Amino acid sequence: MATQTPRPELTRLHYLGIVLAAITGLVHFVLGAAALSANPADPLALSFIGAAAGFAGGIVAVLRGSEQARRWAILLGIPFTAGQIVLYVVLNWPDIFGVAGIVDKIVQIGLVAVLVVLYRRER
């Protein structure tokens, strides 16, 4: 019987990251589903659903994964989320000040900050 090393406990910062990832994942899912209902072949809508799945996968990795999976989820979550902020600005310029988009970007900036702090603590 193989023994497993116990994972370090999740901190409040981990849970804050999980909540922020869930919020932005839900926003992406709702936007993607709405766009897919209007046009089932819309590649941007599919990318929203993919982003939502990415956030869900990261949440699962942090909650249920091994210590190594958790570290990878945190590390990969930084460019994944930061890239979405950049893409939002590029794809929506100059109309970047929609309420839903700005709220989502504030959540994502907070998520990136949490992930950076977690990564630095867990190195």
For the chain, the structural domain boundaries read 12-122
Distances (CA, A) of 31 to 65, 92, 93, 104: 28, 14, 18, 11
CB distance 109 to 32 below 8 Å: no
Instruction: Please name the amino acid found at residue 108.
Output: Q
pLDDT at 97: 87
Please enumerate in sequence order all residues whose Cβ is within 8 A of that of 105, keeping only pairs 6 or more positions apart, or say none: 85, 88
CA 6, CA 67: separation in Å to the nearest integer? 9
Q: What is the pTM of this model?
A: 0.90
pLDDT at 5: 57
pLDDT at 1 over 90: no
CA 89, CA 75: separation in Å to the nearest integer? 23
Question: How many residues belong to the chain?
Answer: 123
- pLDDT-derived band of residue 60, with 50, 70 and 90 as boundaries? very high
